[in-house]
């Protein structure tokens, strides 16, 4: 097609649509999603605030509430509270191990970030290690974190007589 022919078609198309131009207050349309940032946090957890007294008998499902203090990179000092459900009938890494699901709520000065987590607790030569994956629950989060998305890893190291050490790494996409 010649340049003149293409110009004629474009002119005709402009005439059919009225050649309207979008009002300036609409501005240009966004072409990319909000950037993803790195999510990094560390916490020290104390003994459970509450926990099921007997996990050895059927149905071998226990619950606990844990709290900790620490730091969420980019947001400063933070506290966390975790509602944990542990299934001791499932032993993914040998006797005494179990599967775990929990919601971890991280509270900062700008809002609360809710993580939905699932993983396994395994015995190590120094204590216990919990290796889990999380995804951000933007609808359960609040403040600056409302509507957030992301995923990553949630790891906990437990040694007898010491506080639990929590390390969270992954992505965070704010709305």
Q: Which tops the pLDDT comparison, 153 or 10?
A: 153
pLDDT at 13: 41
Q: Tell me the chain's radius of gyration from C-alpha atoms.
A: 25
Tell me: pLDDT of 2 over 60.
no
Q: What would the pLDDT profile of 28-47 be if each residue is shown by its tens digit?
A: 444 344 567 899 999 999 98
Please tell me the distance from the alpha carbon of residue 27 to that of residue 64, in angstroms, as a whole number. 51
The total of structural domains in the chain comes to 1
d(CA 30, CA 43): 37
Q: Tell me, yes or no, whether 21 lies in a domain.
A: no
Q: How confident is the model at residue 69 (pLDDT cuts 50, 70, 90)?
A: very high
pLDDT of residue 4: 44
CATH of the domain at 138: 2.40.160.20
| 14 domain residue, yes or no | no
Q: Would residue 7 count as lying in a domain?
A: no
- Give me the mean pLDDT over the 13-37 stretch: 48
Higher pLDDT, 156 or 51: 156
Residue 55 pLDDT: 84
Please, what sign has the CA dihedral across residues 107, 113, 114, 119? negative
| Residue bearing the bigger pLDDT, 6 or 67 | 67
* pLDDT mean across residues, the chain: 85
Does residue 13 belong to any structural domain of this protein? no
Decide if 9 is inside a domain: no
**Encoded tokens for 2:** 């010649």
Asked if pLDDT for residue 146 goes beyond 90, the answer is yes
Give me the pLDDT at residue 149, please. 97
Structural domain includes residue 80: yes
- Burial (0-12, 13-18, 19+ Cβ within 10 Å), 91: middle
CB atoms closer than 10 angstroms to residue 163: 15
71 in a domain, yes or no?
Answer: yes
Range of the domain at 102: 35-172
In the prediction, which pLDDT does 37 show?
A: 87
Residue 19 — pLDDT band, cuts 50, 70, 90? very low
How many CB atoms are located within 10 Å of the residue 153 CB? 14
Domain-embedded: residue 15: no
């Amino acid at each position: 097609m010649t340049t003149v022919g293409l110009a004629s078609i474009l002119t005709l198309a402009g005439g059919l649509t009225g050649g309207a131009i979008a009002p300036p207050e609409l501005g240009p349309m966004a072409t990319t999603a909000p950037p993803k940032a790195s999510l990094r946090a560390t916490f020290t957890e104390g003994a459970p605030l509450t926990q099921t007294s007997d996990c050895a008998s059927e149905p071998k499902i226990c619950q606990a509430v844990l709290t900790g203090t620490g730091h969420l990179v980019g947001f400063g000092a933070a506290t966390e509270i975790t509602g944990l459900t542990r299934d001791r009938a499932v032993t993914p890494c040998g006797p005494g191990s179990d599967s775990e699901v929990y919601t971890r709520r991280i509270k900062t000065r700008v809002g609360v970030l809710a993580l939905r987590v699932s993983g396994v607790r395994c015995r190590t030569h120094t204590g216990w290690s919990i290796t889990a994956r999380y995804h951000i629950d933007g609808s359960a989060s609040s403040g600056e974190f409302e509507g957030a998305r992301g995923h990553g890893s949630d790891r906990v190291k437990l040694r007898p007589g010491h506080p639990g050490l929590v390390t969270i790494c992954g992505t965070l996409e704010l709305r």
